[in-house]
């Protein structure tokens, strides 16, 4: 059944060069920008109604975030693709060792090297959201593997770093942008302003073409294949009604919501995706 979808929508994933932004509006395009200020500028330029980004938003003072635990539970054998967010005090640490010690003091667990390397990008997003109130109603945290699982109906077992994993994800992306009914919505099933969501036919959302063209015009040392796939699936997810993990998310010490958004679809098993944002 066609869904009321959000448009324009942006999916964002970090890369070595900065951020990969997939924009789904009048067709599908991909742009690489240097920092998150530029991501927000792009979102405003395109009048994006929603931006989904693969980065922790809302950081705990102690303990681990409920959204990270819920995301790992949903992904089952792929749980390790979700890194636990650091506590906020870690952002001031000047080394992985110091950060891990600070995190262990507050949560009882150290900080993975992967999470440590996310620190500069976490700070970028945190600064934009704290300084720009309007961004808080447009920019939300998501996770690519949760989005792929939602569109596929199950977590994808093939790692995205393998040729088989990339091919599987391109398969999923082939249908992820379809199924909109042409009415704009806010993701909760309610109309926004009655404007048309997608003047562009679903066939214009050629994710594989966008993926190939982006790889052709970027260097792998700047933009990895995985980064482009992740941005594309988050753009597809950003158009859809969303579930929130957890269903009643808390906020952190600076008022940012600690939640992960995931697309939901009535055709998916309700035991898997049943909390509507």
> CA 111, CA 88: separation in Å to the nearest integer?
12
pLDDT recorded at residue 117: 92
- Determine the 3-state secondary structure of 92 from DSSP: helix
pLDDT tier at 183, thresholds 50, 70, 90: low
Using a 10 angstrom Cβ sphere, with 0-12 exposed, 13-18 middle and 19 or more buried, the burial of residue 133 is exposed
> CA 52, CA 42: separation in Å to the nearest integer?
13
pLDDT recorded at residue 204: 77
Phi, psi of 32 (to 5 degrees): -110, 125
| Residue pLDDT, tens place only, 112-124 | 898 899 999 999 9
> CA 126, CA 118: separation in Å to the nearest integer?
12
Selection from 235, 257, 207 nearest residue 48 by Cα = 235
| Residue pLDDT, tens place only, 76-109 | 999 999 999 999 999 999 999 999 999 999 999 9
pLDDT tier at 179, thresholds 50, 70, 90: confident
pLDDT recorded at residue 213: 97
Taking residues 15-19, report their average pLDDT: 98
Q: Which of 89-98, 210-219, 231-240 has the lowest mean pLDDT?
A: 89-98
pLDDT recorded at residue 198: 35
Indicate if the pLDDT at residue 67 is higher than 80.
yes
Write down how long the chain is: 277
């Amino acid at each position: 059944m066609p869904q009321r979808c959000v448009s324009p929508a942006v999916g964002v994933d970090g890369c070595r060069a900065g951020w990969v932004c997939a924009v789904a509006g009048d067709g599908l395009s991909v742009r690489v920008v240097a920092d998150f200020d530029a991501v927000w500028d792009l979102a405003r330029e395109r009048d994006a109604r929603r931006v989904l980004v693969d980065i922790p938003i809302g950081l705990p003072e102690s303990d681990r975030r409920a959204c990270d635990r819920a995301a790992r539970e949903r992904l089952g054998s792929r749980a390790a693709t979700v890194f636990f967010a650091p506590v906020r005090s870690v952002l001031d640490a000047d080394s992985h060792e110091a950060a891990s010690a600070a995190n262990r003091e507050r949560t009882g667990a150290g900080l993975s090297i992967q999470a440590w390397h996310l620190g500069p990008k976490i700070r970028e997003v945190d600064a934009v959201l704290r300084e720009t109130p309007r961004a808080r109603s447009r920019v939300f945290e998501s996770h690519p593997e949760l989005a792929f699982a939602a569109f596929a109906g199950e977590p994808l077992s093939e790692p995205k770093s393998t040729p088989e994993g990339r091919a599987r994800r391109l398969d999923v992306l082939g249908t992820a942008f379809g199924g909109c009914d042409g009415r704009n919505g806010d993701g909760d099933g309610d109309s926004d302003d009655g404007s048309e969501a997608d003047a562009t036919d679903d066939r214009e959302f050629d994710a594989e073409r966008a993926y190939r063209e982006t790889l052709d015009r970027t260097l792998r040392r700047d933009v990895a294949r995985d980064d482009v796939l992740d941005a594309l699936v988050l753009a597809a997810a950003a158009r859809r009604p969303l579930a929130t993990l957890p269903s009643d998310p808390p906020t952190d010490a600076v008022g940012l919501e600690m939640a992960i958004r995931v697309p939901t679809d009535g055709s998916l098993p309700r035991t898997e995706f049943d909390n509507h944002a």
